[in-house]
Each structure stands twice: as structure tokens, then as C-alpha cells.
Amino acid sequence: MISGPLPNLIRTRRMHLLPPIWDASGRIRASIEVMIGGLEIVPRGTGMHAPPGVTGGETVDRHAGQGLASRRQQTLLGGGRLLPNRLHRLRGLPWFDCWKAQLKAERKSEHTIRAYERAAKGIASTALPGEDYAGGGFLHVDVEQAYILLDPDDGRIDAWISGLDGLSPSSINARIAACTHLLRWIGHSLPEWVSRPIRRRPLPKTLSRRELSRFKAAVSEFKDPIARPLTIMMLETGLRVSEACNMDVEDVDLDDLSALVIGGKGEKDRTVLFTALTSNEIESWLIERKSRGDVEERSGRRPLFISKTGGRISPRWVQKLMDRLAEASSIPKSRLTPHTLRHTFASGLLERGADLVTIQRLLGHASIATTRVYLEISDQTLREIYRRAQRPIPPMGDPTPEADIEGTLHSTYPLSS
């Protein structure tokens, strides 16, 4: 225990001030060790705790020969910084496995879990001087050790964030979100100085009516029968590609013309609506699906959309389908993605007078600010319609391809084709 004259406030390696812990008599009642690369600072002029041959004020590497993590453990946990109570029973278990179990318990989507795992592995691979966690050893330490190694004041988080330069703002924000979750779970918090880059939100890409018409023709001629029901359902409901892939047969109510989206983005459930067009297409598809084996997964779920091999389709599978349809319809691949169909659905609703709150609910947006971006698309459409109105009116009986500005889907996908 340190006694004698009261020392000044002590600075850590990152220059954060730590006040001493006093007792009633004015003495320091807890030994506070401040680590600077593993060295202990002894208050100058007191000679306290100095081993034989070392005078006061010198730095003493009293943990020489020990691992950096074990030295920090003695310093931080010994100084009164303890694991959160909720983690005490997990303190001896591998932290990475425990954290992944927490993500699953929170019903994070598989996509989110994979993204969080990538960020955590990036943090774990960021070594500080004196560390050696080759072969991913950091991922296998226990929760108590991880609490020490993930201390934001040690500089690991700083170094990891510095290495994110060059990524897009959305990618950086996604990684910081993962880091925030990890630190909160382990008992820390993201440093206040960390700021998220402002992401410039581009206008959503939508298909013009000419492109939509060519797309419809390509879908009708596509050999795989799954193309038509899948694309029509996405166009009429605004489903995200992951939501369409995860939908099960039991989620669709053809009589009610609705479908239940379970565990959408943000782990939120919602109901989407469709017309008789989609209902007819899904009804025909269920016959085709049955010929592929009426697949049932081990969990008992029956995926709505399955490939010819009998497995549930994936977002990557759908993107490959879109690439082939883009080539067949002479639409640039960058303009024809699963999300393009979602944007086309939303902008079509807005053009028909749907209010933003309705569109927000149908799309499953957490914030209406995300939905407002479609107002800009609507403004562009308004200008396009205005320019058309200024053109000379064609003779009767000679309609132009642009003449039909009513509707998006039913003019493109008639009930009978």
C-alpha cells in the first residue's frame, strides 16, 4: 500500500486522468498501478514500493517475463475494475462463442451476425506491441481475458478504427456498430471521440416503364419457372431479397392476399400485401415447387422459393438470376438488382398518391426519414410527366410508348399473358 505525501493526479498512457482512491485519513487506500507499456510508475520522491537497488521515481518492470495480457489483468482487475455481474458465470468460457450466442439470442439476422463476426475478427487481429496472437488465438481467450484485452483505453480500438480508412462510410458505420455492440456486451463502451462518417444517401435506382416492359418480356421467356413468381412478388410487395429468400410456404396467405415477413431488417416482423396477380403466380409456383420435392428443412420449415436442386434460394442466387435477366432485357446489371425492384415498388406507390407513413410500413423502414428519399424520385417523375405534356399530342390511334403513365405493375404484368 502506498502511504506518505499525496501524489498528483496520475496520467495513463492515453493521458486520461485517474484520481487516486483516498481513505478517511487522507491516504491512498488502494494501490493504483498505471501501465505504460507494462511499466509501473512509482510516485516520485517517496521511494515507496521500490525494490532494493531502485530509488523513488524510477520505472520498475515488476512484471517482466509475464505476458502482456496477464500484466494488464493484474493491473485492471486488481484496481477494482470487474466484469459485469451478468458475465461472471461466463468468465472462464471463450468470449467469441459467448458473444455469438448473445447475437443469436437477440435474433440478429444471419447477415448481421456475419458482419459483426467480421468486425470482431478485425479487432482481434489488431495486435498491440508485445502481443502475439498468431492463428486467431485472441478469439479463443476467455471472457475475463477478453474484458482486459478489449479495454478501449489500451489503444486497440483506436488502431483498428484507423485501419478502416478507405472503406465507404456505410461500411465504416456497420463496423463501428458491431464494435459498439461488442464493447457494451463485454462491459465497456465506445470511446466518445469516435464519430461515424456521414453517409451520402444516393437516390434509389428504379426501372423506367420501358425497362420494366423489357424486363417483363425477359422474365416470361426465362426457362426457370421460379423467375416469374419471385420477381412479381418482389415488385408487388417491396420485399428485401433476404426476406424473399427466408419466406416459407406457411407465411403466405393467398386468400387474404398477404404474407408475413418474420425477422426482417432490425428483427422486426411485418405484413406485406399483394394483388391477385401475385396470388395466381404463387399458386402456379406451388405446383412446380411440389414437383421439385416439396422440400422441408431440418427445422421443419418449408421454404417458399427453392432452386432446381431443391435447396432454399439465397440472396446471391437471386442476384445471379437478376444478372441473367439484365442481359436478356438489355438493362445494365448495375441498374437491375433485387433492391431495384423494391425501389420501383416504393416509387410506384408514391406516384399513385400513397402517403409516406403507408409506404414506410409496407417497406419496413425503421425511420420515415429513410422513406423520404422517394420524394426526390417522385419529383423527377413529376418533371418527366410535365415535359411529356409539353410535347405535341400525337394523332388519335397512334399512341406513344410513353403514353401510359398509369400504374407500374398491371400495365407491365397483365393478369393473362
Active site residues: 240, 265, 339, 342, 365, 374
d(Cα 323, Cα 417) in Å, to the nearest integer?
Answer: 23
Backbone angles phi, psi at 130, to 5 degrees: 90, -5
Ramachandran category for residue 159: left, alpha or beta (phi over 0 → left; psi -120 to 50 → alpha)? alpha
- Residues in CB range of 60: below 8 A, 6 or more apart: 39, 40, 42, 49, 50, 51, 54
Q: Are 251 and 262 in contact (CB under 8 A)?
A: yes
57's grid cell: 521515481
Q: In angstroms, rounded to a whole number, what is the distance separating the alpha carbons of residues 279 and 267?
A: 26
Of 7, 16, 81, residue with least CA distance to 45: 7
CA distance 343 to 333: 15
CA distance 103 to 97: 10
Question: Taking Cα atoms as reference points, which of 87, 116, 136, 137 lies closest to residue 182?
Answer: 116
| 226 CB-contact burial (10 Å; exposed 0-12 / middle 13-18 / buried 19+) | buried
Residue whose C-alpha is closest to residue 110's, from 246, 311, 234 = 246
Taking the CA atoms of residue 260, residue 278, residue 320 and residue 306 in that order, the dihedral angle to the nearest 10 degrees is 60
DSSP assignments along 162-218, one per residue: HTTTTS-HHHHHHHHHHHHHHHHHHT----TT--PPPPP-PPPP---HHHHHHHHHH
How far apart CA 272 and CA 234 sit, in angstroms, is: 10
Q: What is the dihedral of CA 146, 149, 155, 160, to 10 degrees?
A: -50
